[in-house]
Amino acid sequence: MSLLLIWIRHLLLIVPALGTLLTGHVEAQGWFTLQVLIGLLLIRISEIHIPVRRFILPIELIWLSYLAYTEEGLMFLALYSSLIAIFIYSRKRQLLVMFVLLVGLAQNTVILHRDAELIWMANLIWLTISALLLAYERIAVKQHYAESLYDALARSHEDLEQTRRRMIDYAAQVERFAQAEERNRIAKDIHDDLGHRLIRQKMMMEAALQLLDKQPDKAHAMLGQIRDQMEDSMERMRRTVRRLSPVSDDTSRKYALDRLIEESGRELGIEVTFTIAGQPYPLYPSIEYVLYRNSQEAITNAVRHGGARRVDIILEYRPSDLRLSVANDGLVPDGPIVQGIGFRGMNERIMLVGGQLDVATKPHFTVTTIVPLGVQAIEA
């Protein structure tokens, strides 16, 4: 749009000059042509040299006013070239209004001695062009504001896209870490539990073979114990294989708390309840993983160290943070709580996302995982 107005600026000087030449009022055509060329030069300088533009525009208006006053004809229309210039190069409302009035004053000065009809027509043209330029200025301001908002939105979108990529990478790292930790845990279970059971069963089998001829009843009883222990070992092996197997439903979450409750109740033989408080919202996969693993560790500790038969899990969505409390009815230690490997792992996980871990002993032994606001929520 500014390029179009620049061309109109040139035409508003060239066309009136040609019209004035054709009317035959110009006596010295060479001098008149030189004056017009000087006016075009002033217009060109104001376009190219930005630092001197504010000095060139008043000089241009004075020169064109002089040209319109001395040569008459249609040269008063050249004043609108300067009027357009101020709207191209300035966005200050007070300066625009002042320059519009200044052009109107210059126009009426140069045509004051001419016909009344021409004076009225010139003022009507001046008012129309001024109104159009003021409307153009408002549109240009809104367009500039819209462009700045678009640029800011584009930058925000780029930042958001980079953040999304980082979160995807972080979630992938967390997933790999979770898989490695789960493999280590399963390997430890196989080594410490199933491995020891198989060694004990082998020794019992050898003892039963030695007793089979001398004490057959005792050997049969021992073989029955071996059979029962092997059935129990096979059940433990099935649970281990289920943990290694992928989730059958592609849309289900790997670290969903409801799955943890179902698995814990089935594998540990305890009662586990799950309650949601507040207004739920989607969570990042890394936060779901932290909540899942901390809940899993808290349930395991409750059964192993406290002999718990019931575990109550409360997931509370609060305005300031997200809290996951795991309480159990097991024994409460008399002395200070010694934080072993499990507690240290829980602390390390929650510290990675800027949260904290609280432990309370009254009224029940409760482990609370706290995630601050601004970390846990995904915009829906």
Domains of the chain: 2-114 (no CATH), 255-380 (3.30.565.10)
Calpha distance 82→66 (Å, rounded): 13
Tokens 């808290």 found at: 298
Q: Could you check whether the bond before residue 363 is cis, i.e. omega within 30 degrees of 0?
A: yes
Say what the pLDDT of residue 339 is.
Answer: 67
Spatial CB neighbours of 38, under 8 Å, sequence gap ≥ 6? 63
Calpha distance 268→83 (Å, rounded): 87
Q: Of 93-102, 309-318, 338-347, 351-360, where does the model show the most confidence?
A: 309-318
Coil vs helix vs strand at 320: coil
Q: Are strands 271-277 and 310-317 parallel, antiparallel or unpaired?
A: parallel
The 10s digit of each residue's pLDDT in 192-230 is 667 777 777 788 888 888 887 888 888 888 888 888 878
Average pLDDT, the chain: 79
> Model confidence at 45, in pLDDT bands (50, 70, 90)?
confident
By residue count, the chain amounts to 380
Say what the pLDDT of residue 240 is.
Answer: 66
Q: Please state the pTM of the whole predicted model.
A: 0.38
Calpha distance 324→317 (Å, rounded): 9
Distance, first Cα to last Cα, the chain? 41
Torsion sign across C-alpha atoms 231, 235, 236, 240? positive
Coil vs helix vs strand at 277: strand
